[in-house]
Amino acid sequence: MDNGDKAIQPCAARKENSNAQPKPSMSRADVMKLIRQKDEIEAEVKALYEVLDSQGKVGMDGPLLDNDGYPRSDIDVYTVRHARHKIICLNNDHKALMRCIEDGLTSVHEQAREEYMEHDAQNVTDAQKPRQPFAKVQFVATDSPAFAAGLQGDDRLVTFGSLTSANFRTLTDLAVVVTNSENRSLSVEVLRDGNLKRVTLVPKKWSGKGLVGSLIMAFRRPSCRWLYLRRARKMAPLFPYGNTLG
């Protein structure tokens, strides 16, 4: 039964995202623009979930028909169906944007690495130079993915996937790499007691918060926050580091 609703059109690409395809060479400004679009999508989806909550907290799966097979009289069935449909479309847009953001960050990192290598090639190769850490692990939760990988408090991050001190800018860079590496192996190198250690991190859901379960502080821009990196449930932002600590 169609409940007498107006027909809902299939998902259509958002106009503002029509140009959100990774370019051969993206600037950091291009990536930040995509991140702002991602934030706008998350805000819009959050508002749509509030609409569903206002309709008897029907959510994405609650029934729209009563026991007799008629449209429920206590909710606006069309409003619910429209909100659900829009959420599905926006979630698809969000996934596409995240892929573009990751590709864009990779492009930016490669550009930074090339510039760094060119600058230092006059004196010594990058492999010969001491590797500089760009962030510090403050705390690792027991039984978390970070704990399973062997990360420890006071470890200094030297590489994190494609991230190095040459291309790392903010914790958002870490967030994007982790989010797009969920359930996949991620190579991480740390300085521990003056020695370089390599571990394999597999970001994934666990009994605690986020996909990593560690407290990380960036050296360049001190900001100590939980790396929550939750997958969108009721479209919680993908970069909610929680409350700033300290």
SS3 readout for 145-211: HHHHHCCCCCCEEEEECCECCCCCCCHHHHHHHHHCCCCCCEEEEEEECCEEEEEEECCCCCCCCCC
In contact, 210 and 231? CB cutoff 8 Å: no
Whole-model pTM?
0.43
How many Å separate Cα 93 from the centre of its chain? Answer: 14
How far apart CA 76 and CA 246 sit, in angstroms, is 46
What is 135-226's CATH superfamily?
Answer: PDZ domain (2.30.42.10)
Tell me what pLDDT residue 211 has: 92
How far apart CA 174 and CA 168 sit, in angstroms, is 8
Residues for the chain: how many in total?
A: 246
Tell me what pLDDT residue 220 has: 52
Tell me what pLDDT residue 119 has: 60
In contact, 158 and 189? CB cutoff 8 Å: yes
* 27 residue type, one letter: S
Mean pLDDT by 10 residues, the chain (246 residues): 41 44 68 91 94 93 92 93 95 91 83 66 52 89 94 93 88 88 92 92 92 85 42 34 29
Tell me what pLDDT residue 132 has: 87
Work out the angle at residue 42's Cα, subtended by the Cα atoms of residues 111 and 80, and round it to the nearest 5 degrees: 150
Phi, psi of 144 (to 5 degrees): -85, 165
What ranges do the domains of the chain cover? 15-120, 135-226
In contact, 99 and 38? CB cutoff 8 Å: no
Tell me what pLDDT residue 116 has: 64
